[in-house]
C-alpha cells in the first residue's frame, strides 16, 4: 500500500541515497526539491512513492551489493544512512564513483574507534564508558556489556556474565569490545556540523527492547522527540560541548547523531557517534517543518534548491512532539491483501487526525517477514514527549491486535517507567 505524503514531488537535481533503509531521508530530500534515487534492503512502498527510482539489494548481498546498484544511477551526489558507518572501506569505493555528500571515510574511522573517541571526549571534560579490548579483566557480574565494534541498532549487545563468558568463542573476540554499563536514560542528539560550527537540531529519548514493539534486549525500536527547551541545563551544556568537539576536531560534516546515557546526576555519558542521518531526524522535521536533507547537503558543500515547507499539511506548532516505533514481527509473517486492508484502515484514520502519515516503511503484498524482522514504522504526535509516547504505545497495541493476534500488551512497569 502506498500513501500520498505531504511533500511536493516536483522534479529537481538528482540525489542518491543508500543504506539499510532510505525512506525517511528520501522523504526529506524530496521535500527539499531533489529527485531521489535510492538503494536499500526493503524498497518499501512509501519509498517508491517519493523516489525517481528504487533498487533493492538482497540481504545476502548487503551492503557490498550497493556498489553495483549505484553504478547505473545518475552522476549525482550520494548520501548514506545506517549502518554503513561500519563499512568505511565500502564508503571509499562508493566515493570513488560518485561525489560523497556526507562524512568522509577518514572521519568515520576516527569517531567509530571507541578508544580514540574516548580519549577525545575525556580531554574535553566529557564522559565515556570504561572500555576494554578483551575480557580478561572484565568482571562477570553483568556490570559490563559485550558489544560488536561494528555495532548498529543495539544488535549483539549483551550483559557480560559468567554464563556468557563460558559460551563465548575466543575466535571472534577481535570484533568485540567490553564496555562499562551506565545506568540512566538512553538518549540521542542530532547535530548539523559545518565549517561554522555545530547546530544542535534536537534530542530524543530512545526506546530499546520494548515488548510492545516485539523487541528484546537492547534492540533499538524507536525514539521520542524531546525539544531543546525541555532539556535540563546541565544536559544541554554537555550536548553543546559534544557538538563543539565534533565540529572542531572530528572532520565530520552534515547531519550526524550521537547516542548517550543521561544519569541521575544530570550528566551525559557518550556511548557512540553515528556519522550520518539518524532515525530520529524525521521527528524533528515533523515538529519544525524543516527539510534537514537540504541542510545536510549544504553543510557538505553541495547546492540545493531553496527549501520549501509543507505543501498540503500544516507545520505542527510547538509544543507538539512526535514519537516513532519500529514494529517487529512476533512470528513469521506473510504480508497479504487482508493484512494490508487492516493496516490501511488504521493508517487512514490516524492520518486524518494527525495531518501526517502515521504508518511508514510499508511492506508490499507478498512480502515474507521473518520472526523479529521489521514490519513497519508507527508515528504518533502529542502535546509533549510523554503524551506522544503514550499515544505511540496505544497505536502499537492497536495495530498488533489487528495484524498479529494475540497482541503483546505493555505491562504496568513499561507504562509508568516510560
What confidence score (pLDDT) does residue 409 get? 46
Q: What is the pTM of this model?
A: 0.90
Q: Which three three-digit cell numbers place residue 410?
A: 505493555
296 burial type by CB count under 10 A (0-12 exposed, 13-18 middle, 19+ buried): buried
**Which of the 8 DSSP states describes residue 408?**
P
Gap between the Cα atoms of 98 and 88, Å rounded: 15
Give the three cell numbers for residue 77: 551526489
CATH of domain 185-417: 3.30.470.20
Torsion of CA 81, 87, 92, 95, to 10 degrees: -20
- Which residue spans within 195-352 are E strands per DSSP? 197-208, 220-226, 254-262, 268-274, 321-328, 333-334
CATH of domain 14-111: 3.40.50.20
Q: Is the omega angle on the peptide bond into residue 406 within 30 degrees of 0, that is, cis?
A: yes
- The domain locations on the chain are 14-111, 130-180, 185-417
User: What's 409's DSSP letter?
Assistant: P
Helix (H, G, I), strand (E, B) or coil at 53: strand
- Given a contact cutoff of 8 angstroms between Cβ atoms, the answer to whether 89 and 42 are in contact is no
Contact yes or no for 268/238 (Cβ under 8 A): yes
H or E element that contains 89: helix 88-95
pLDDT tens, the chain, 418 aa long: 233 334 444 468 999 999 999 999 999 999 899 999 999 999 999 999 999 999 999 999 999 999 999 999 999 999 999 889 999 999 999 999 999 999 999 999 999 999 999 999 999 999 999 999 988 889 999 899 999 988 777 788 888 888 888 777 655 677 899 999 999 999 999 999 999 999 999 999 999 999 999 998 889 999 999 999 999 999 999 999 999 999 999 999 999 999 999 999 999 999 999 999 999 999 999 999 888 999 999 999 998 876 544 333 344 444 589 999 999 999 999 999 999 999 999 999 999 999 899 999 999 999 999 999 999 999 999 999 999 999 999 999 999 999 997 544 454 334 333 3
Q: How far apart are CA 289 and CA 283, in angstroms?
A: 10
Nearest to 255 by CA among 7, 13, 16, 28: 28
Amino acid at each position: 500500500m502506498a500513501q500520498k505524503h505531504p511533500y511536493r514531488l516536483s522534479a529537481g537535481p538528482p540525489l542518491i541515497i543508500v543504506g539499510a533503509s532510505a525512506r525517511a531521508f528520501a522523504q526529506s530530500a524530496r521535500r527539499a526539491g531533489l529527485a531521489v534515487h535510492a538503494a536499500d534492503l526493503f524498497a518499501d512502498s512509501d519509498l517508491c512513492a517519493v523516489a525517481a527510482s528504487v533498487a533493492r539489494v538482497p540481504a545476502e548481498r548487503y551492503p557490498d551489493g550497493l556498489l553495483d546498484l549505484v553504478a547505473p544511477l545518475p552522476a549525482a551526489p550520494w548520501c548514506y544512512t545506517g549502518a554503513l558507518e561500519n563499512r568505511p572501506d565500502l564508503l571509499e569505493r562508493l566515493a570513488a564513483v560518485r561525489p560523497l555528500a556526507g562524512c568522509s571515510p577518514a572521519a568515520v574511522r576516527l569517531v567509530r574507534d571507541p578508544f580514540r573517541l574516548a580519549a577525545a571526549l575525556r580531554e574535553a571534560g566529557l564522559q565515556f564508558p570504561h572500555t576494554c579490548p578483551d575480557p580478561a579483566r572484565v568482571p562477570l557480574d553483568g556490570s559490563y556489556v559485550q558489544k560488536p565494534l561494528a555495532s548498529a541498532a543495539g544488535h549483539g549487545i549483551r550483559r557480560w556474565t559468567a554464563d556468557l563468558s563460558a559460551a563465548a568463542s575466543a575466535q571472534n573476540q577481535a570484533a568485540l569490545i567490553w564496555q562499562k554499563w551506565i545506568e540512566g536514560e538512553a538518549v540521542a542528539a542530532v547535530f548539523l556540523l559545518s565549517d561554522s560550527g555545530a547546530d544542535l537540531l534536537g534530542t530524543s529519548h530512545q526506546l530499546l527492547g520494548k515488548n510492545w514493539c516485539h523487541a528484546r534486549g537492547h534492540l533499538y525500536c524507536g525514539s521520542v522527540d524531546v525539544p531543546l527547551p525541555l532539556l535540563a541545563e546541565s544536559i544541554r551544556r554537555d550536548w553543546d560541548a559534544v557538538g563543539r568537539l565534533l565540529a572542531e576536531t572530528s572532520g565530520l560534516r552534515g547531519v550526524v547523531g550521537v547516542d548517550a546515557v543521561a544519569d541521575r546526576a544530570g550528566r551525559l555519558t557518550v556511548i557512540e557517534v553515528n556519522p550520518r542521518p539518524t532515525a530520529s531526524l524525521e521527528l524533528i522535521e515533523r515538529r519544525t517543518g524543516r527539510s534537514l536533507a537540504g541542510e545536510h547537503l549544504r553543510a557538505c558543500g553541495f547546492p540545493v534548491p531553496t527549501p520549501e515547507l509543507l505543501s498540503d499539511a500544516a507545520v505542527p506548532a510547538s509544543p507538539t512532539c512526535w514519537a516513532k516505533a519500529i514494529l517487529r514481527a512476533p512470528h513469521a509473517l506473510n504480508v497479504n491483501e487482508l493484512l494490508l486492508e487492516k493496516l490501511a484502515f488504521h493508517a487512514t484514520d490516524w492520518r486524518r487526525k494527525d495531518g501526517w502519515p502515521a504508518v511508514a516503511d510499508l511492506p508490499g503484498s507478498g512480502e515474507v517477514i521473518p520472526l523479529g524482522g521489521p514490519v513497519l514504522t508507527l508515528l504518533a504526535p502529542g502535546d509533549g514527549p510523554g503524551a506522544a509516547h503514550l499515544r505511540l504505545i496505544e497505536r502499537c497495541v492497536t495495530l498488533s491486535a489487528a495484524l498479529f493476534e494475540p497482541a503483546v500488551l505493555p505491562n504496568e512497569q513499561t507504562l509508568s517507567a516510560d
